[in-house]
Structure 1
């Protein structure tokens, strides 16, 4: 029997849509063409040279969340008022959920025309003002397009909550009848795990990232109740003391601190609020921070994962922990 949507959608899921996202940007950006103020002036995007970065759609507690941080490189061509051919590139170092949705900062544009003359310079000066609003309108449509296209693959309900993420128009469908089948099969298998008596067969998952930040700062970001939402984008509870409870991702992950050694190590129990996680079962998450002269290597070792969930949990740790920290500007140097 299928789980009710409210229960099935509690599960922590990620879907990598990087290839789709790059194709979407290419299709939309190649349509940009702007006329200048003078007769014959024109500039258009001739090539999407690069869309570099990971693009994912995540779900936790029935919320769909867009997770992406891309560097985009564009080639442009055009004609100046005197008929001179104009070429060059535009570099946009960050197109991300944080800028588009959270409005944490402004977009940056770096123009590099291949030649210079009075008429070319005049055209480029115009386009520096005309292009950003057009490009940013495209960037603003991207999160909703991602949800429209891929949300049905993560949600069972027909009306998932999208707090913190732009919702598409009312005519868009969030789910289809075919999307429930794989989720139901997974949930049925997981239900059998919960009903098993006795010891749960477990394994260990390890992920790591090298981030441009001090160990002190990272330790604070991982344990300070006021700073945790900066990278999880969800409410948190954390007293950061041994033998105290904590809650991350709006209650999606819960546990108790076992020991804290600032700024080098945190040991805590770790339980996922999901129907696939055996009732009453807790794993142990050990986080170590090893600071060098320019960065800090962070290693997460999660011991006690129920067998069969290794890949899923690893993807979640990489998507929600590592990508979450990278998304606030720490930046991996790997």
Structure 2
């Protein structure tokens, strides 16, 4: 069984697991219990609607997918502790028909690894033809160079819809629905460029926020081992496309000194203070629910070894009430997410 994500919602919601309140259905208080929703039938219908008739016109001629010959696997959406987790694993075989110089050619497309362990960019798309004519080979080459990206983008629509559309209503409402809303944004954020504006300011590590609130502060030191180069880790933390990928589509970053970053709908945000590629990154870093104007100081130290890369984090000025959950969050939403997204580590299945 896949290693399940641990609960981390208390960072921005006040840990609602411990709040018992009236519920409209009088069951599954605060969505604490595991619930599962089978997504197989919905997935097959959605994939058929997306793929059958898909236009793969390219420089060689016209082409389209005419049918799904094989669609084997399963998919499910799960709610555990008010956090949505989706699992899917499909093996697809598609049939295509095209024309090259007025000659009809046919073939198949195999996709063996459409699963939650891969991003759309990682999909293995194999192109075959029914015959060995010059026209068929021409179309095959064109589909490899031009059609595969169309297929990846189309299948990414399924992945997003499974996470965002199919799971709607799985987290039942409370009297105050803002908590559920915040959890959904953390788990399934696909911002589409509409993240709330955030502000950054100087780090306050002396226990006094800009609003004059007295804070009990602490420091956090954590580290992780990555099976990749130091450049890989540095790029994941600074390159916009990689930052977006491991934050599940919720993150944006400006890779320059003074550049701003945010993730999870603005619940985490800050500013870059220092860049020393690929060894060191320094940031002002805060949670949205911290007192206004209070930032922690985060220093990433990246050290490449013979067969692994050690990345260390020193975070100064964390409110003591958030110490443990912040520490857990580095493992869950940074290191585990990078390993899962980019293959920087091993996972127990």
**How high is the TM-score relative to the length of structure 2?**
0.47
**How high is the TM-score relative to the length of structure 1?**
0.48
